[in-house]
Amino acid sequence: MTTELLLEVQDLHAWYGDSLALHGVNFSVRKGETVSLIGRNGAGKSTTLKAIMGIVRKRSGAIRLRGIDLVGLPLHQVARAGIGYVPEDRGIFSSLDVFENLMLPPRIESGGFTLQQIYELFPNLLERRNSAGTKLSGGEQQMLAIARILRTGVKFLLLDEPTEGLAPVLVQRIGAAVRSLKKSGMTIVLVEQNFRFARRVADRFYVMEDGKIVDSFAAEELSERMGMLHETLRL
Amino acid sequence: MNSPLDIPLQAFFGQLLIGLINGSFYALLSLGLAVIFGMLRVINFAHGAQYMLGAFCAWLLLRHFSADYWTALLLAPLLVGALGALKERVFLAPLYRLDHLYGLLLTYGVSLVIEGLFRHWYGTAGESYPMPAVFSGAVNLGFMVLPLYRGWVIVASILICSATWALIERTKFGAYLRAATENPVLVQSFGVNVPRIMMLTYAIGAGLAALSGVLAAPIYPVNPLMGRDLMVVVFAVVVIGGMGSILGAVVAGYALGLLEGLTKVFYPEASSTIVFVTMAIVLLIRPAGLFGKDMAAPPESALHRPVELLEWRRWSAPVLAIGVVLLLAAPHFVYPILVMKVLCFALFAAAFNLLFGYVGLLSFGHAAFFGGASYITAYTIKELGVTPELGILAGAAFASVLGVAFGYLAIRRLGIYFAMITLALAQMFFFFSVQAPFTGGENGIQDVPRGNLFGLISLDSGFSLYYFVMAIFLFGFIFVWRIVRSPFGNILKAIRENEQRAISLGYKVDRYKLGAFVMSAGIAGLAGATKAIVFQSATLTDVGWQMSGEVILMTLLGGIGTLLGPVAGAALVVALESWVSELAVPAPIIMGTIFIVCVMIFRRGIVGEASRLLQMPTKFPGWGKLYAGLIRSKGTHA
């Protein structure tokens, strides 16, 4: 793992209408690492991802990707700067079939997954490529949502609750996929409620509470932190 | 050789052909509307104007550049499409975050300006575009003779519809379009420039309209108003087909054209209303339209607040008192008939605002109640000889009954659908008024005697008439005010804020909406009935959909959802109209421009902005402390 800084978030505030949701978030992600944002419901984890992308538009502070400030860029240019975003609700389009869903996002960088690589990672998608997008099971939808972003060739992923509502066996499948992406050099920011999942893939953790980052630690320090985490997060 | 119903076969097929030709245009235009609506959630009221622009483009290209038909067929859509792209960026894009009704209102304003400009430049006589030489002949099909150009129109429309379908279903652009229709933000988060796709979509829609215009140029007169009444029929077609369904738009387009043709053969009197009747039937059976997805709870409008609601304020009472004094004194200073006109329209606008401002339902068909009542009052007084107050009651009662029928159909949908349905229903009533024997058709009912109030007081004297009208206005205005402030009114406002929540609280919202609709229709009828006595006439102008547009403008300009807004708006629009009539510029251009300005930057309207300014001091932090201090000192005394 290099120490090269990929993403830097400084004093990020974000609003939903008039109500402040992020109260000055600071964190950074190095190239090649998997960082997990953990915290209770409503702590601002998903909002942080949305604010980085610019889906939540009303924000202040600095978000720098490889030194380029993303605040102020239109949403599609944020994506073009090299970020892949997988939303919590997966966002599979019902009027498109599986194959169209997969092919929808445009190529952004070279080295994106080929169809063959995608089908190797998620064999289910090959079988179901002609089904309507929303006819898939929750797990298949999640695989499709991740797979279509891999096609774009971005090296930096924002994953919002990829295991939400999935059966344990599917959680393992997603976990295996995330680990293999990690191995291939992908940088990942993972928002996760399922702490057992996050601890198996993350290199570092940031703990969020009330729209702020309140703590951070590396995976190695996890065991000594468990007590504290039990208390603050009721894990 | 005769058909079973003794109709010559030639005539039968002839009508069917005309139906098919009309159907081709319905299909093309509703297709464009559906494409635009699907992506932008905008009902493009300017579609008819863009169709007209296409035809004019062809005609101008021929006249000034001697460009032939094929060049026009290529260039006109490009030019109009480019214009559309510009319009989308400048006017429509800033409105996307607001209620979709604003898009409808904006494009309505734009259509007024475009049509007004072309009327100003080219008059309404209509120009003729020569038939392209290739298509000048006809071909004998055995059972009928088919003029070649008409055959070409049918073939071309089928080709264009298929090409559009292929573009949407079979290309990458189409996939973006379909995906962005579902979730534009997510598509943009993939790196797709969605704003540009929206711009292109509008341009394609506008281009399709222009293409239809060029196709129409050799068979219909090229006239600035050629798209306008067609538009309303196309709205009905779109409602029948199912909003947002491409297939529905095309199938319904052809089918209704044919149906119209058949009606011309078997029952010509109904041919202009058959589409609207069909729409009413479809709404009863399948509110989502034939091909529409069932949307039990349409996402739009129900969740948006059309405007900020401005309630009764402390200064409202003195303002009202001053208003009444001014009204009492007005005829001594201003030409009374002008004030009476303002009062009639103010009442009309107040009625409209009851529905739009407080229930959030934009009716684009209130002219039917206004004009309908006007006819009934004029007829009962002139032909049946009843006294004016009975005539007015009859008019208002008629409007209420009509309101029950229209409301029952229209409240099945919300937001823009509601607007389109009311528009189509009102247009049906318009055609009824054109044909019904008692309305006097194009001439209307003229020279209505004002008569004696209660058989005693002659209304021919200016002052007695004025105070009579003023009394009616005040009655109507206070009635609206009472409704808004009643528990019933609170439930209406709750429905407007969040219909689902109102339902979950156990309210039968449909009953409340229907109730509000009927009251609004009744008061609008009262206004129209009074106008019939003031102007001693009832004409088609009062039932035309331009009248519905005018009352929207008044309310928008004055301030939606404010009590005094409709009055201020009506006064201003009436004054403007009498001023504009002396200018060389046609009124629609001015009105359309005001529409655009209001929608873009002045959405609170005059009264809305004024009360926002007057409200400012209460936000001064010192007041709160002062108030808290007062409460505290009171407390210690007790």
Residue B391, pLDDT above cutoff 60? yes
- What kind and span of H or E run contains A85? strand A84-86
Read off the pLDDT band of B619 (50, 70, 90). Answer: very low
User: What pLDDT does B104 receive?
Assistant: 87
- Give chain B positions within 8 Å (CB) of A80: 191
User: What pLDDT does B303 receive?
Assistant: 33
Cβ contact (<8 Å) for A55 and B182? no
User: Per-residue pLDDT averaged across A161-181, rounded?
Assistant: 89
Assess contact for A230 and A222: CB atoms under 8 A: no
Q: Does A94 touch chain B (CB under 8 A)?
A: yes
Q: pLDDT tens for residues B334-387? A: 788 888 999 999 999 999 999 998 888 999 999 999 999 999 999 999 888 888
User: Per-residue pLDDT averaged across A45-61, rounded?
Assistant: 93
- Give B166: exposed, middle or buried? Use CB within 10 Å, 0-12, 13-18, 19+: exposed
Q: Which residue has the tokens 């960082």?
A: A35
Q: Residue B336 carries which DSSP code?
A: H
How far, in Å, CA of B17 to CA of B22, rounded? 9
User: What pLDDT does B308 receive?
Assistant: 42
Q: Does A79 touch chain B (CB under 8 A)?
A: yes
Q: pLDDT tens for residues A172-195? A: 888 988 998 898 899 999 998 888
How far, in Å, CA of A29 to CA of B89, rounded? 37
Probe site for chain A from B170, B189, B197, B303 (most A CB atoms < 10 A) = B189
- Give chain B positions within 8 Å (CB) of A53: 189
Range 108-167 of A in CB contact (< 8 A) with B? 108, 148-149, 152
Cβ contact (<8 Å) for B190 and A103? no
Read off the pLDDT band of B623 (50, 70, 90). Answer: very low
User: What pLDDT does B53 receive?
Assistant: 96
How far, in Å, CA of B134 to CA of B145, rounded? 17
How far, in Å, CA of B288 to CA of B272, rounded? 23
Probe site for chain A from B186, B193, B194, B295 (most A CB atoms < 10 A) = B186
Q: Using CB atoms, pick whichever of B183, B189, B195 lies closest to residue A79.
A: B189
Q: pLDDT tens for residues B29-60? A: 999 999 998 888 888 999 999 999 999 999 99
Assess contact for B313 and B564: CB atoms under 8 A: no
More confident residue, B459 or B339: B339
More confident residue, B210 or B169: B210
How far, in Å, CA of B16 to CA of B24, rounded? 12
| Numbers of helices and strands, H then E, in chain A | 9, 10
**Could you tell me the pTM of the whole model?**
0.87
Probe site for chain B from A55, A58, A76, A96 (most B CB atoms < 10 A) = A76
- Give chain B positions within 8 Å (CB) of A141: none
Closest residue in B to A55 (Cα) is B185
Read off the pLDDT band of B65 (50, 70, 90). Answer: very high
User: What pLDDT does B237 receive?
Assistant: 92
Q: In chain A, what are the helix, strand and coil shares in percent, each to the nearest 5?
A: 35, 30, 35
Q: Using CB atoms, pick whichever of A74, A94, A105 lies closest to residue B190.
A: A105
Pseudo-torsion of CA B262, B264, B269, B273, nearest 10°?
A: 60
Assess contact for B238 and B33: CB atoms under 8 A: yes
User: Per-residue pLDDT averaged across B384-409, rounded?
Assistant: 93
Residues recorded for chain A? 235
Cβ contact (<8 Å) for B183 and A53? no
Q: Residue B218 carries which DSSP code?
A: T
Lowest mean pLDDT among A97-111, A136-150, B209-223, B578-592: B578-592
ipTM (interface pTM):
0.92
Cβ contact (<8 Å) for B185 and A55? yes
User: Per-residue pLDDT averaged across A14-25, rounded?
Assistant: 90
Assess contact for A151 and A107: CB atoms under 8 A: yes
Q: Using CB atoms, pick whichever of B172, B183, B191 lies closest to residue A80.
A: B191
Q: Does A58 touch chain B (CB under 8 A)?
A: no
Residue B301, pLDDT above cutoff 50? no
User: What pLDDT does B99 receive?
Assistant: 81
User: Per-residue pLDDT averaged across A152-161, rounded?
Assistant: 93
At B346, the amino acid letter reads A
Q: Using CB atoms, pick whichever of B181, B190, B193 lies closest to residue A104.
A: B190
Chain B closest-CA separation from residue A210 CA (Å): 26
Backbone angles phi, psi at A87, to 5 degrees: -75, 160
Residue A126, pLDDT above cutoff 60? yes
Q: How far is CA A152 from the centre of its chain?
A: 15
User: What pLDDT does A137 receive?
Assistant: 87
The residue among B278, B264, B270 whose CA lies nearest residue B436 is: B270
Cβ contact (<8 Å) for B185 and A104? no
User: Per-residue pLDDT averaged across B398-406, rounded?
Assistant: 96
Residue B425, pLDDT above cutoff 80? yes
- Give chain B positions within 8 Å (CB) of A108: 191
Residue B210, pLDDT above cutoff 50? yes
User: What pLDDT does B313 receive?
Assistant: 58
Cβ contact (<8 Å) for B191 and A93? no
Read off the pLDDT band of B205 (50, 70, 90). Answer: very high
Closest residue in A to B187 (Cα) is A105
User: What pLDDT does B311 receive?
Assistant: 52
Q: pLDDT tens for residues B16-33? A: 899 999 999 999 999 999
Tally C-beta pairs within 8 A across A and B.
60
- Report the side by side order of strands in the sheet with A204-209: A84-86, A156-160, A187-191, A34-39, A204-209, A212-218
Cβ contact (<8 Å) for B186 and A76? no
Indicate the angle between helix axes B509-535 and B336-359, nearest 10 degrees. 170
Task: Round the average pLDDT of chain A to a whole number and report it.
Answer: 89
Q: Which residue has the tokens 């024997």?
A: B437
User: Per-residue pLDDT averaged across B545-570, rounded?
Assistant: 89
Q: pLDDT tens for residues B501-526? A: 889 898 999 999 999 999 999 999 99
More confident residue, B579 or B74: B74
Backbone angles phi, psi at B459, to 5 degrees: -95, 5
How far, in Å, CA of A45 to CA of A38, rounded? 7
Neighbours of B559 (CB within 10 A): 31
User: Per-residue pLDDT averaged across B120-139, rounded?
Assistant: 88
User: What pLDDT does A18 receive?
Assistant: 83
How far, in Å, CA of B580 to CA of B589, rounded? 10
Q: Does B191 touch chain A (CB under 8 A)?
A: yes
Q: Does A80 touch chain B (CB under 8 A)?
A: yes
Closest residue in B to A85 (Cα) is B189
User: What pLDDT does B232 receive?
Assistant: 86
- Give chain A positions within 8 Å (CB) of B176: 104
User: Per-residue pLDDT averaged across A159-172, rounded?
Assistant: 89
Chain B closest-CA separation from residue A79 CA (Å): 5
User: What pLDDT does B371 receive?
Assistant: 95
The DSSP result for B524-592, as a single string, is HHHHHHHHHHHHT-B-GGGTSHHHHHHHHHHHHHH-TT-SSHHHHHHHHHHHHHHHHTTSSS-HHHHHH
More confident residue, B628 or B377: B377
- Give A41: exposed, middle or buried? Use CB within 10 Å, 0-12, 13-18, 19+: exposed
User: What pLDDT does A145 receive?
Assistant: 93
Q: pLDDT tens for residues A69-91? A: 999 899 999 999 999 999 998 89
